[in-house]
Amino acid sequence: MASLQAIYGDLRTRGIFRIESTDGAEATPCARFVDRVARCRAHLAGSGIREGDAVLFHGDQGPAAIVVFWATVLEGAVFVPVDGGWPAYLLQKACAKTGPAVAFVEDALLPSWQGLSGAKVVALSVLEAGLSDGSASDAAAIRPRHADADLAGERPAVYLFTSGSTGDPKAVVLSHAALAHSAQRVVDTFDWRTGERLLNLADPHTMSGLRNAFVAAPLAGMAWISAPKRQRENTFALLECIERTQPQRMVVAPVLLRHVNLLGARVDAGVFASTKAVYCTGTDLNGDEVRNFHARFGIPVVNYYGLTETVGLCVSQDVRDWSPGDAGIGCPVGCEARVVDGDGDEVAGDGEGELQILLDHPMSGYLDDAEATAAMFDGRWLRTGDLVRRDADGRIRIVGRSGDFIKTMGTEKIQPREIEAVLEQCQGVAEAAVFGWSDPSGGERIAALIVAGADQDGALLSDHRLASFVRERLGASRVPAIFRRVAAIPRSANGKTLRKKLQDFV
């Protein structure tokens, strides 16, 4: 499948994709979905959207998000989803970076846009009303302003924001071809099949949320189950949702396994009666949790790996020969992988080194940041920053990181310096060091060491004040769970933070 346009054309011809809601709303069959995309395209054309313009989406997963995505890319514009939890500070940064012509915003998030300029802000309720007007025959007659065949290849399709080192998020540029090829890898690797239901918990501002639900599910001819955030963030509500909708495939954070295992017999086996496989990414899986879950329900938990920069999936376990005792992340899929030492030489045998990935269609780069883009590549090989070992069968196991990223229990890698830069702007903070604190349920929590400025009132450094300061500037997902006051940050003779020693303070 060479392009997003080819995927969408096949979707229309086959007519087998559908969106199912968990909140009691009527399911959206393929014909209705295509109708809504046509209307959204007409709305964009009427707004003066041109090829290459950015269309920002500020909200959570749902029917409106996938409609805006497809309307945007088919019009030749660039889809820019941002975190629904972002404060106005980061929204301003995103607008300055991408210059969106239109921003579609969930009604509850509209207050964050007061005073922001540069984009035409459209409430999702207004968009929804427009998508419901007229008849299907009218929508079918709408002629797109651009020839679909001309929009394939390396044209930008999406900007996805990822963690930056200065407090400013970086925009990863993903092409039409990159997304299409990544979606095909998912369908082939995960053995997703026509007629199955997919419950994918990540939001569209993440790689898994965007690619899996918006591109791979339509490509496979699956039904995508759209769950509101209130159900996805509450374990009991989520289990009720799973029992009611009976998905065959689920992409979840590993913490769900932990919660299900802790609940024990309170979770009836019928909840997962239709589930063929669970897929987890964004953090290392806890082997005990995987084995306990599998022992109870007999469902494989497939560990897969990818960065936004690799357009997601590049290494994965195979559901067809899966074993609960496999502690690795699997083998390369649709790419080549190598393990290199600090000098850039390939490591022999099962030696430890940095994982690097070679793809035909990786990210196009970071938007307007040639220096950061160049730093991510060793020739054509993309540096992941993860330290791994590789066995004789090609299976890869992560053993650490060469970079300083924090792996959360969601699907993000967070750059500590992003949070440090913000904390050091806070009155009373002389220095800050941020790191990942291992959580027993898998993944990492964010921890911060704080050095107070001279003659500062200790009240200025309360956990509440520090947390609020970070939340206002970076959003809730970047707020440290732990703050520790220290006399000094451990540093080397040349002043570099000794990050391996930061854990000793927790």
For residue range 153-168, list pLDDT tens digits in order: 889 999 999 865 555 7
pLDDT band at 139 (very low <50, low <70, confident <90, very high): very low
Q: Which residues of 117-154 are buried (b: 16+ CB within 10 A; e: fewer)?
A: eebebbbbeebeebbeeeeeeebeeeebeeebeebbee
Of 145, 137, 128, nearest to 47 (Cα)?
145
Per-range mean pLDDT, top range of 14-18, 168-172, 251-255? 14-18
Q: Is residue 322 scored above 60 in pLDDT?
A: yes
pLDDT for 99: 94
CA 433/CA 423 separation, integer angstroms = 9
> Which of 93-97, 301-305, 407-411, 448-452 shows the lowest mean pLDDT across its residues?
407-411
CA 120/CA 102 separation, integer angstroms = 5
What is the rounded average pLDDT of the residues 260-287?
86
Look at the block and give the residue holding tokens 């898994």: 208
* Whole-number average pLDDT of the chain: 86
CA 29/CA 274 separation, integer angstroms = 21
CA 63/CA 57 separation, integer angstroms = 13
Q: What is the pLDDT of residues 460-503, one digit of tens each?
A: 689 999 999 999 988 888 999 999 999 888 875 545 677 778 88
Q: What is the pLDDT of residues 190-241, one digit of tens each?
A: 999 999 999 999 899 999 999 999 999 999 999 999 998 888 878 899 999 9
pLDDT band at 258 (very low <50, low <70, confident <90, very high): confident
> Which of 70-74, 111-115, 455-459 shows the lowest mean pLDDT across its residues?
455-459
Of 411, 366, 29, 406, nearest to 203 (Cα)?
411
Beta bridge partners of 104: 57, 122
What is the rounded average pLDDT of the residues 87-100?
90
Burial group, residue 17, by CB count within 10 angstroms (0-12, 13-18, 19+)? buried
Residue 76 contacts residue 155 (beta carbons within 8 Å): yes
More confident residue, 457 or 416: 416
pLDDT for 456: 57
Q: Beta-carbon neighbour count of residue 437 at 10 Å?
A: 17
pLDDT for 420: 87
Q: Is residue 303 scored above 70 in pLDDT?
A: yes
**Helix-then-strand count for the chain, H and E:** 16, 25
Q: Is residue 277 scored above 80 in pLDDT?
A: yes
More confident residue, 313 or 133: 313
CA 315/CA 335 separation, integer angstroms = 8
